Amino acid sequence: MSLNNMNRPGVPGERIAPAKPVETVKRMFRYLSKSRKLIVGMLALLAAATVLDLFIPDLIGRAIDTLNLEEGQLTVDWRFLLLLLGILLAVFLVSSLFEYIQGRLAAKLTRTTIVTIRSDVAKRLIRLPVSFFDTHQNGDILARLTNDIENVSNLISEAIAALLSSVIVIVGCIVIMLFKSPILTAVCLSTVVLNILVTLVLSKKMFGYFRRQQKAVGRMNSHVEQSVSTKRTIDAYDLGEKCVEECDALSDELTDVSVKAQVLGGAMPPLMCLIGNLNFLLIVAVGALLFIRGGFGITIGTIQAFTLYSRQFTQPINEISGIFSQFMTALASAERIFQIIDASTEPDEGKTDIKPAGACRITFEHVTFSYIRGVKVLDDFSLTIEKGQKLALVGKTGVGKTTLISLLLRFYEPDSGRILIDGVDIREIPKSRLRSMITVVLQSTAVIEGTIRENIAYARFTAGEDEIRNAAEISCASGFIERLENGYDTPVTGEDTMLSQGERQLLCLARSSLTEPSVLVLDEALSSVDSATEQHIQDALLQRMEEQTCIIIAHRLSTVKNADKIAVFSDGRIVETGKHQELLKQRGAYYHLYKNQYLDIK
């Protein structure tokens, strides 16, 4: 089994088809258009700097023509030459100043655009359903938020300005060259078709490789993230070699597509350079022939100017080819970012804002649900939990107990049937309101980076010191907290190994004690604590839960002995209900579950 798929639920996710590159580029420009003033300023400065640069070859050509060789005597128009050199110096200085200011504006445009993209991605991630995260690897999501956004940032900061200036240079060069010599201009443009053909052929192949490269980066990040988070499991099962083998395989895949992408990308600049040199030779040859024949207004200075203009003309094309691999990488990255932004958010059509006073009544009516079509997890499931009732759900692993809670919280929607709270279909209740009515304490512990105090108050940031300490007392967490060197001010992180699994579970239980929900769900919430602590917590919670409906999911049946009603799951349905002693007397499914845990039962 792949380590990268450990603990992955078998649920199908939304798979978004890749967008066409043209559509991705259009969307990028829509983001850029939100900073119109910056773009206008950049364009103005680029245009000014580029126009000034366009006059440089002509000024150099005129400077050369101030030298005149007649009858073996060299004469120089020093006055005009010095004037031209002064103008050239001024052009260099002003053009450099414009380029510096334009660079500052480009950096600001990059920051503004990337902040907007990050904000849109973050807002969409918050609104995505749990099913999206169940079916997409964490490492791949992180790669989109970091590596892919960084690629887009590099494109904006470096490539956009180059593309804009290239257009101005190419158009300006053509206009000036046409004015000086239409024939030499035609020679200069003769290689453009060849440039376009090479670019089209290579770009089509390159984009496919760069798209595969970014996907491979996501898979590699997922593997690394999974390997780090499950390090203890890997060591416990001696899966280190297997982990390394998978890492090597993913690395080989990434290297293979990256090399192919870079080889194609690297082929572009030398090909463009070769075509540019061919263009240079043609201009010199044809220009020299026209100069010898005379009558075409061609001077040595004109030929020199055209060689410089041909360099200026081909330089943007070479620069574009040089950043083409970067452009393709960024385009593939932008596509992956937009896939998150385009992912379907949770439907929330609810408009009935119910506010139950204390406990509420929960009814499941003929609920059927499947993660995978044709494989039912719940099959025509019906159950009623009365107000203030303490209901325990028991059954073998994988029969659908936790799925029931996911449906109650609307992480998923049932295929058929409905769920009611106090007679109101939960689909009519806004999700924010529905989830504020329900507190869930899971077996998996969600410890955040911060202090012990901040972790407990995470459920209610306005909680006072006395409330935090009282919550810790109720959950039996105060004992281990007070033994810590800094007590409630002890810093912890999400992966803190200083706390045991049981202590982390008590911390999460203390967090839930700060809430006052109508429904409290304990999903294996006491599985990592000892029996004595479990009994103490149960006694404290039972006193506190008088005004709450409580659902307890547990494999350890000692946890559910005192429940008002026990419901036994099997094959997606309830097969038995009753109190602990009643179910034992029936000698049915519950009796056999209990007997497997406590062999001394008769």
- Count CB neighbours of 213 within 10 A: 24
What superfamily in CATH does domain 17-342 come from? Answer: ABC transporter type 1, transmembrane domain (1.20.1560.10)
pLDDT in tens, 536-578: 666 666 666 667 888 888 777 777 777 888 888 887 788 888 8
Contact predicate 425/465, CB 8 Å: no
Q: 445 is written with which tokens?
A: 């512990």
Task: Round to whole Å and give the CA distance between 512 and 481.
Answer: 17
Instruction: Count CA atoms within 13 Å of residue 339 on its CB side.
Output: 25
What number of CA atoms fall less than 13 Å from residue 566's CA on the CB side? 27
- pLDDT tens per residue, range 471-490: 888 878 888 888 888 888 88
Chain segment 294-345, per-residue pLDDT in tens: 766 677 777 777 777 777 777 776 666 666 667 777 888 888 888 888 888 7
pLDDT at 418: 92
pLDDT > 60? residue 599: no
Is residue 272 within 8 A of residue 318, CB to CB? The reply is: yes
Tokens 């039912």, residue? 376
pLDDT of residue 8: 39
CA distance linking residue 535 with residue 429, whole number of Å: 35
450 — pLDDT class (breaks 50, 70, 90): confident
Q: How far apart are CA 216 and CA 188, in angstroms?
A: 42
Question: Which residue is listed with tokens 């440089």?
Answer: 56
Rg (CA), the chain: 36
Domain ranges, ordered by start, for the chain? 17-342
Q: State the sign of the Cα–Cα–Cα–Cα dihedral 270, 274, 275, 279.
A: positive
In this structure, of 67-71, 115-119, 279-283, 510-514, the range with the lowest mean pLDDT score is 67-71
